[in-house]
Amino acid sequence: MHYPEWIWQNGSIKPWAEATTHVMSHALHYGSSVFEGIRCYDTPSGPAIFRLTEHNRRLYASARIHEIEIPYDLDTLNAASREVILRNGFRSAYLRPVAYRGLGGFGLSADTPVDVAVATWQMGAYLGDDVLENGIDACVSSWQRFAPNTIPAGAKAGGNYLSGQLVAREARRLGFGEGIALASTGLLSEGAGENLFLVFEGVLHTTPVSAALLNGITRHTIITLARANGIEVIERDLPREYLYLCDELFMCGTAAEITPIRSVDGRQVGTGRAGDVTRRLQDLFFGLFKGTTPDVHGWLEPLEP
């Protein structure tokens, strides 16, 4: 594994190897961390971090849900996010802010200090090299998402990703590219680390936040781009069998971007290739970073403002 040179931790940039934490940090034992995943793209008008402020706002929202008090304000974290990418000399990168309960008590409800880091590294297509083009084979997981009022799915917290790991690892073990989880209701929820879109007769259908999912920023981006370009979007409860009936299916997330799904549970989706609506949305989405889709919402936040 090749690591980048610099990382931001608790207020300053330091060499990657120095960003350590104690083994008795609360988060390591109890999953008490919140984090974000953000991408910086090298656009024709210079490197830009995609929806940086919104991602960092979600970090504070996740922290608020779990009563984790982040000892830095939004401007500081936005600046740290820029600084760490610049110091590493990246023009495109994945960015990982994380805040966690550190060392300072062993009990579950201990009020420990909160440590904060912002890491960055270079990342290509998350689910494999050719997947944006050719799609992945997915399966419905034998693991369900957490039930309402158990672990809040709306927070992007470390502990939630025990569920994601069960889903993703089972899928890979069985030879699939990614797993799709059902909510405790039995209705469709989301992928291990991606939201889900189905296409029926040109109309986009996506699962609602009530289905124990993370309210993805890519999901919001796609809904916004689709509606602005005359593609109807419906947020609705969706039963599992709709996966086998839809014309097109894709997953989306910061890491996965827009990844077509060509089969589910060994059943071919549509033609088995990325469909017209998926391709159109990929063009619109990646167009933001190529300069062919106008950034009317100010989503591209320049690396060097």
Residues lying near ligand PMP in the complex (CB under 6 A): 37, 156, 164, 190, 193-195, 213-214, 216-219, 253-254
Phi, psi (deg, nearest 5) at residue 159:
-55, -30
156 as an active site residue: the answer is yes
The residues that bridge with 179 in the sheet, in sequence order, are 139
Residue that the structure tokens 């999953």 belong to: 31
What's the min distance (Å) between Cβ of 152 and ligand PMP? 12
Does residue 7 sit in helix, strand or coil?
Answer: strand
**Choice between 26 and 51, CB closer to ligand PMP:** 51
What's the min distance (Å) between Cβ of 54 and ligand PMP? 9
**Choice between 141 and 254, CB closer to ligand PMP:** 254
Rounded distance, CA 240 to CA 86, Å?
44
**Choice between 113 and 287, CB closer to ligand PMP:** 287
What's the min distance (Å) between Cβ of 214 and ligand PMP? 4
What's the min distance (Å) between Cβ of 50 and ligand PMP? 10
Does residue 8 sit in helix, strand or coil?
Answer: strand
Q: Which of 156, 205, 219, 262 is catalytic?
A: 156
Rounded distance, CA 227 to CA 168, Å?
31
**Choice between 110 and 147, CB closer to ligand PMP:** 147
Listed as own residue / partner, the contacts of 74-77 with beta carbons closer than 8 Å and 24 or more positions apart are 77/116, 77/118
State the DSSP H helix or E strand holding residue 49, giving kind and residue range, or none if neither: strand 46-50
Catalytic residue numbers read 156
